[in-house]
Amino acid sequence: MSPSGPSRPTPLMQEVGAQLSRLLASARATTTETAARFHPDLQPAAFHVARWLLAFGPARTGDIARGVAMDRSAVSRLVDALRVAGLVQVHADPSDKRANLTRLTNDGRTQVTRALAWKGGVLHGRLATWNDRDLRQFARLLDKLNAS
């Protein structure tokens, strides 16, 4: 950044921005398809809740809401839909009987794992023809971008 403020983007920087936008749009589409593979009758946001539960284990609705950056009431509705679909169970929290814990059922765990495996396969398919040098360079550059 110059003393007078940020510099203007160069054409090359604009091209990088355009490619990142394409990547993010593709990632959103893949995530939407992954959610549909998880359960076609549920909102895509329900997959995010289930994926969070797979990663972090049983939790209270408020903790899930903070973890997925959603409103608590929206998460409550999603948890209810997941419960009706047999993908989560809701039980009283043993440490505070006034609160509930939500956990994945075995079927819920299987469905999330299967959907994530499909999503991983999509990425693998996109990178399968890349050589190790290109993969290392790409990983290094992504790390540099993420660290900045």
Q: What is the pLDDT along the chain (148 residues), one digit of tens a residue?
A: 455 557 888 999 999 999 999 999 999 999 999 999 999 999 999 999 999 999 999 999 999 999 999 999 999 999 999 999 999 999 998 888 888 999 999 999 999 999 999 999 999 999 999 999 999 999 999 999 999 9
CB atoms within 10 A of CB 80: 14
For domain 12-147, say whether CATH 3.40.50.170 is its number: no
C-alpha–C-alpha distance, residues 61 and 75, integer Å: 7
> Global pTM?
0.83
For 97-112, b/e burial (b = at least 16 CB within 10 A) is eeebbbebeeebbebb
